[in-house]
Amino acid sequence: MLQVTEAAADHLEKLITTAMAEQELDEHEPMVIRFVSDAAGLSLMLDIERAEDITFDHRGKTILVFDRGVSELLADAVLDVKTSEEGTRLVLQ
At CA 25, angle to CA 24 and CA 31, rounded to 5?
140
The parts of the chain modelled with pLDDT lower than 70 are: 25-28
For the chain, the residue count is: 93
Number of C-beta neighbours around residue 79 at 10 A: 22
Which SS3 state, helix, strand or coil, does residue 14 take? helix
Q: Measure the CA–CA gap between 93 and 72, rounded to whole angstroms.
A: 15
Q: Which fold has domain 3-92?
A: Hypothetical Protein Aq_1857; Chain: A; (2.60.300)
The C-alpha atoms of residue 68 and residue 64 are separated, in whole angstroms, by 13
Q: What is the pLDDT of residue 36?
A: 95
